[in-house]
Amino acid sequence: MTGELHLQGITKSYGSRTVLDDIRFDVAPGRLTGFVGGNGAGKTTTMRIILGVLASDGGTVTLDGAPVTTADRRRFGYMP
C-alpha cells in the first residue's frame, strides 16, 4: 500500500443548493496536506466525506485505487 488518497468528481448538495461541485485532488503518501477557503467553501463537507461521516452525492474517494474502508480511515489524522 502506497497510501495515495484520491478524490475524483466529488459532489454534494443540500436540496437545491450545491455545496461541492466536481472536487478533485490527490494526497501523496507521507504528506501533510491542508486546504483553505472562506466560510462556506466546502472544506468541512469535503473532510466529512473523506472520513465517511457524510456521503457524497457523486464521485469517489479512493486509497491506492480502492474505496476507502473504515480500517483505512482509522489511519487518517484530521485537525479542524
Q: What is the pTM of this model?
A: 0.88
pLDDT band at residue 33 under the 50/70/90 scheme = confident
Q: What is the residue-averaged pLDDT of the chain?
A: 91
E strands, 1-80, where?
5-14, 17-27, 58-63, 66-67
Helix ranges (DSSP H) in the chain: 43-51, 70-73
The span from the CA of 77 to the CA of 33, in Å, is 10
Q: Residue 42 has what pLDDT?
A: 93
Average pLDDT of span 12-20: 96
Q: Residue 75 has what pLDDT?
A: 82
Average pLDDT of span 33-44: 90
DSSP assigned state of 42: S
- Report all structural domains of the chain as residue ranges with CATH numbers, in order of start: 5-67 (3.40.50.300)
